[in-house]
Structure 1
């Protein structure tokens, strides 16, 4: 009711890097599920360490039992998936420690998962971490990526999204 009286809600969402590292295009992810945008559109981070934080304010809607991926829904309906590494589900949770559960409310920069980067590099296909908007077609009217060589987890804006 107040939004109708005092103006419309903010439709812009800033997605910050969930990891320290280099921000790259999804085209650079060596996995067709992500590079061909089968899960949605976004970008990826090639991490320098194993600390993953929330890229947005929202609610945890999914934490995979292996802690290799976390889904977050923002208040204005954007669904953001952080998928740590490629083919990491086969590690069955080894080297991953989750810090959130489904239903938790998170703020940008809150810890989500820590993982052993070296172990992932050894046992999985890659450590590169896609950050994907899984409801892109339904929710996004514009998406602007911000690529950088040295993103800081919880601080560096890596994308600006306008929600439909």
Structure 2
């Protein structure tokens, strides 16, 4: 009887010590995201809020609560990307005539060398590929898939992204 109890307890202990699905996993390092410049009122903080995209967290984050993100802006129908890192963080890798070419280049872009960074991405248009440097000096590559500008200079920007959290400019292939 004792032997059976020990076996059951051993199996139970082994089962409970295993990580569950999602437990301890890192956020995704690639995906598709949409950011916009729409302000929303946050009743908890009683202030207006804008969402930016965090590559490290792989999600939209409040600019009131996060410190390393990318946002989109628009002035006179010219779209730009900014960050709060105080680093020159953007490098235009290329402009492409169509989505097929941009996607091919994006998917085969495994490494990059950047001679000079810009403070912001400006102007941003569809089928561009950008390299982004976070405040922690990790990197992401972006393919701007679509941009929707409204007459009020409200803008939505959708992009595919691949994030390299190890601080190198080497990106995994698709």
- Give the structure-2-normalised TM-score: 0.24
Specify which structure has the bigger relative contact order, considering alpha-carbon pairs within 8 angstroms and separated by 6 or more residues: 1
Larger Rg: 2
- Give the structure-1-normalised TM-score: 0.25
